[in-house]
Structure 1
Amino acid sequence: MHKIKFIGEGIVKKCGGLPLVIQIVGSMIRTKKMSRQDWKSVVDSKIWEWKTPASSSSSTEIGGDILPGLMLSYDDLPYYLKSCFVYCCIYTKACNTLIMQWVAHGLIEVGIDVKATTNQYIEDLI
């Protein structure tokens, strides 16, 4: 248990002390049954070296240390949610427009309960 606590502290350190990144990575880890080796692979991931220049964003977090946490979270999504996630970035508040775009672009299977499926996808992404 001591080793996993040490690894967890390493993950928090990699998150740069940013609460949003800690929450994203923590949520990803919490929803899976991860072994000590899985936790270690998160700490040792090269993704932590990915940074965007602060000047490319109006937000310090987005411009700096948040990208690795978002990438880890995105990489962990099931394949069918990855495209849906990208659309969420475009249609942040217009949920009905978002759903219509998912259907129009074939991200929701025809012949199933579209409302239930899209509600489940949104719930999974949140």
Structure 2
Amino acid sequence: MYNIFYLMTSKPAVIIEIINYIIFSIAWCKLCEKANVRNQWLAFTPFLQIIVFLNIIDRSGWYGLLLMIPIVNIVLMIVWFTEFYNSFNIKKLWIVLSIVIYPIGCIYMLYMAYSEKIDYIGGSSYRY
């Protein structure tokens, strides 16, 4: 157990985690820009990214409290990510692959953020 903790806290691992955090925060900010969500700066704050995610799928940030309930949080994340991908008009195959296989979901999220082909089609009451 000590070896795993050491690997996670070693300098290279911490640098990789910081770079990963910055890349995905910028991607979330780009997705907010596509969805015209207010308070895009929340994408750079670790726990407040949940509010950004919920605003994109037209939910209040208070729904984030439901993520503290065991088992309910897993079901809600699957449902919410399905709504998230549907709000960007993503095909069903990519939705299933992105939810089931985490690395595919990460890569596809970056593709969604930077692709000109992907547009936000959902309606959000948290717009400008």
| TM-score, normalisation: structure 1 | 0.30
TM-score, structure 2 as length reference: 0.29
Structure ID, larger Rg:
1
